[in-house]
Amino acid sequence: MNESIIFNSPLLLVLYGIALSFFLFGLNSRSGKIIYLSTAIVVGTSAYALVIGATLFETAVVVVIFLIINLTHVGKEKDGKDK
Amino acid sequence: MNFNSLHFLLFMPIVILLYWLTPGKFRWMLLLVASYYFYMSWNARLVFLILGTTLVSYCAGIMMERTKKTGLKRLYLIIAVVTCLSVLIFFKYFNFLSRSITTFLNLFNLKAGEFTLDLILPIGISFYTFQTLSYVIDVYRGKFKAERHIGYYALFISFFPQLVAGPIERPGDLIPQLKSVHYFNFEDFFCGLRILAVGFFYKCVVADVLGVYVNNVLNNLASANALSIFIAGYLFATQMYCDFAGYSEIATGTARMMGIKLTTNFNRPYLSNSYSDFFHRWHITLTRWFTDYVYIPLGGSRCSLARRIFNTFVVFTLCGLWHGANWTYVLWGVFAAFCLSIETSLKKPLARFLNKMSIDTSGKTFYACRVIFTFSVMLIPAALIFRANDLSHVGSIFSTFFTSWGFGTDYFSYAMNSLGLDAFGLITILLFMTAEVLLWQYAEIGRCGKPEPLPFDRRGNTISTQRTVIWIYTVIAVMLCWLALLATGDTSAFQYFRF
C-alpha cells in the first residue's frame, strides 16, 4: 500500500472520487449519459495512472471496485420492479 | 490455441463475423473448418484421432439404424464403443497403467522394468470421446435418429467452443441447433458477449490470480501450516471453479453469439447443501453422462442400499479416473463416493433425529449451516486431494494440516507469509472474489431466453446503461490482470484442458 501510486496520488484519488460522484448522481437522476461520463473518467484516470507508473494489478483493483459498485447498484424502476 | 491467448482473441471474432456473413446452409462448412483448425492448432497430427473417432461412430450409427437384428445392432454399438474407448485408454492411460503394474510387481520384488511410450495426450479426448459415446448409445436406444449428414455429425463432435473442455453435449440438444438456420439477434449476441466477458473474468482475474497463492503453499509444504493449507484449499476450490466455469462460460458465450445455446454446466456449486447436491451443480453434463450411461444401467437408486453404494463407488471411481491418469484422481473419486454413501445411509436416520430434537430443517439458518459444513468438511479436502501431484503429496498435505495447528498473531503471520499474502494481496483477493460472486447474476441475464433491454437502449434506461458499463469494467479488469500475469509468467492454461 505504501508503494501504491494510485493511493498516494491526490490527483488520481480526486479523479476517481469525481467519477464515483458522477456515477451516484447519474443513478439518482436516471441519466445514462452521466453514468457513461463516469465510466469515461474512470477509464481515463486508470490510463493516466498506468502512464505515471501504477502497476497493472493496482489499476485492476480500482477498476474492480467500480465494477462491484455497479454490480450492487443495478437500479430498479421507481415502482420497485426490476427491468 | 488457449482461450486466453491472443490467437483465440483474433480467431473467435473472425469466425463469428464470417458465420453471420455466410449463407445459412453453408455455415456448417465454415464452423467445421474453423473447428478443425482450432483443434489442429494444438497438434496437427492428432486430428486423425478425432477424425477416426468421428467416422467410426458415424458409420456405426447408420448401420445400427439400418439393421433390424438386435444382435447385429449390439455388435455395431460394441465396435463403436470399444474403438472410441480404446483410443482414449491407450493415449491417456497406457503409461499410467504400465507404471502402476511395474510398481505393483516391484512390491513383490519381481524387478519388473518400466515400459512407457512417448505419448502426447490429445487435447479434449475425454470430452469428445464421451460425446461420441453419448451419440452411439442414444442411437442404439432409439432416443436419437442417426445423423445421415457427415458434415453435421463431424461438426457435432468437433464444435470448437466446447471441443476441448465441454460442456458434453447430447446429440438431441446440439445437432438440431447446428442444422437450423439462425438469424442474427441482438439479444442473443449481447447475451453471448456478457457471458464471454464473465468467463474471461473468472479465468484471468480470479483463477489465475488465486493460483499464484495456492502454488506458494502447495508447492512448498515445508513452510506451510494448517491455516495456510486450509486457506490454500479454499482458494484452490475457488480457482478450480473459476477456471472450469470460466472456460464453460467462454464456450457458452462464443456459441451464443452464433445463436447456439450450449447446456449450462455449473449452477453455483458452492451453495450446495450436500455432496449429492454439489454434483447436481458442478460439471452438470458429466454428472448426467455418468448417471444416464453408467449409474442407471448398473441399477441406479432402484435397488438395495448396498447395491446403490456399490454403484456409487463404481461411478465415482470411473469419474475420478476420467479426470486424469493419476491415483490422486482415483482417490478423489473414492472420497466423493464415500461422502455420498455416508449421506445416503444417514439421510433418513438424521431426518428422524432432527425431527425428534424439534430442529427446523426448512429454515435459512439450517440451510446455511449445511452449506458451510458441505464446503468446509467435504469440498475443501476433496479440492486438496484433487490438486495434489501424487499420493505422497496428498499424505504430506494432510499430515502437515493435522500436525501444525496453532494460535496467535505469529501463527497467523506465518500462514500469510507462506501464502505470500500481504495486506494489498488480501484486499485484492477479497475484491476479486466479491466481483466473481456478483458477476454470476450478470451472466444469467437473458441466458434462459427471456427478453431483456438492449445494452444501447436509446430510452436512456439506466439499467441497460449499467449493464454496458459493467461489461466495459469487466473487460478492462480482464485485460489488466491478463497482462500483469503474462508479465510475471503466471498465466496458465485451463485446468480441464489436461483432461
Interface pTM (ipTM) of the complex?
Answer: 0.90
Q: Are B241 and B266 in contact (CB under 8 A)?
A: yes
DSSP state letters, B176-226: HHHHSPPPP-HHHHHHHHHHHHHHHIIIIIIIHHHHHHHHHHHT-GGG--H
- Residue-wise pLDDT tens digits, B128-137: 999 999 999 9
Residue A74 has pLDDT above 70, yes or no: no
Does residue A52 sit at the B interface (CB-CB below 8 Å)?
no
Which pLDDT score, from 0 to 100, does residue B109 have?
74
Q: Return d(Cα A83, Cα B465) in angstroms, integer.
A: 12
Q: What Cα–Cα distance (Å) separates residue B109 from each residue in B112, B333, B481?
A: 8, 30, 52
Q: Return d(Cα B471, Cα B467) in angstroms, integer.
A: 6
Does residue A14 sit at the B interface (CB-CB below 8 Å)?
no
Nearest to B304 by CA among B315, B293, B312: B312
Q: In B, which residues are within 8 Å of A39 by CB distance?
A: 469, 472-473
Own/partner pairs for B482-487, CB < 8 Å, 24+ apart? B482/B4, B482/B200, B482/B204, B482/B208, B483/A56, B484/A55, B484/A56, B484/A57, B484/A60, B485/B204, B485/B208, B485/B209, B485/B212, B487/A56
Of A33, A38, A56, nearest to B483 by CB-CB distance is A56
- The highest-confidence range among A1-15, B217-231, B459-473, by mean pLDDT, is B217-231
- Residue-wise pLDDT tens digits, B15-73: 999 999 999 889 999 999 999 999 998 888 888 999 999 999 999 999 999 998 889 99
B450 — pLDDT class (breaks 50, 70, 90): low
Q: In B, which residues are within 8 Å of A64 by CB distance?
A: 205, 431-432, 435, 473, 477
DSSP-assigned letter for residue B55: H
> How far apart are the CA of A2 and the nearest CA of chain B, in angstroms?
10
Vertex B465: Cα angle to B463 and B466 (nearest 5):
65
Residue B456 has pLDDT above 90, yes or no: no
Which pLDDT score, from 0 to 100, does residue A47 have?
94
pTM of the model: 0.89
Question: B378: Cβ–Cβ under 8 A, 6 or more apart, which residues?
Answer: B275, B278, B339
Q: What Cα–Cα distance (Å) separates residue B155 from each residue in A17, B84, B178, B242?
A: 51, 17, 8, 28
Interchain CB distance below 8 Å, B480 and A57: yes
Q: In B, which residues are within 8 Å of A55 by CB distance?
A: 484
Residue B113 has pLDDT above 90, yes or no: no
Q: Return d(Cα B455, Cα A35) in angstroms, integer.
A: 13
Q: What angle separates helix A56-72 from helix B462-488, to the nearest 10 degrees? A: 160
Q: Are B233 and B381 in contact (CB under 8 A)?
A: yes
Run of H or E residues at B364:
helix B364-373
Residue A79 has pLDDT above 50, yes or no: no
Percentages helix, strand, coil for chain B (3-state, rounded to 5) are: 75, 0, 25
- Residue-wise pLDDT tens digits, A17-62: 999 999 888 888 878 888 899 999 999 999 999 999 999 989 999 9
Arithmetic mean of pLDDT, B110-127: 76
Arithmetic mean of pLDDT, B168-184: 93
Q: Return d(Cα B183, Cα A34) in angstroms, integer.
A: 34
Which pLDDT score, from 0 to 100, does residue B496 have?
60
Does residue A22 sit at the B interface (CB-CB below 8 Å)?
no
Which pLDDT score, from 0 to 100, does residue B492 have?
59
Q: In A, which residues are within 8 Å of B491 by CB distance?
A: none
Tell me, what amino acid is at B434?
A: T
Residue B377 has pLDDT above 90, yes or no: no
Residue B428 has pLDDT above 80, yes or no: yes
Which pLDDT score, from 0 to 100, does residue B178 have?
94
Residue B463 has pLDDT above 70, yes or no: no
Mean pLDDT estimate for chain B: 87
Vertex B233: Cα angle to B232 and B238 (nearest 5):
95
Arithmetic mean of pLDDT, B285-307: 90
Run of H or E residues at B438:
helix B423-444
B457 — pLDDT class (breaks 50, 70, 90): very low
Arithmetic mean of pLDDT, B299-327: 89
Q: Are A83 and B457 in contact (CB under 8 A)?
A: no
Give me the residue label for grid cell 454496458.
B468
Does residue A60 sit at the B interface (CB-CB below 8 Å)?
yes
Arithmetic mean of pLDDT, B385-399: 89
Q: Are B313 and B371 in contact (CB under 8 A)?
A: no
Q: Return d(Cα A21, Cα B369) in angstroms, integer.
A: 39
Which pLDDT score, from 0 to 100, does residue A83 have?
37
Phi, psi of B219 (to 5 degrees): -95, 0
Arithmetic mean of pLDDT, B184-188: 86
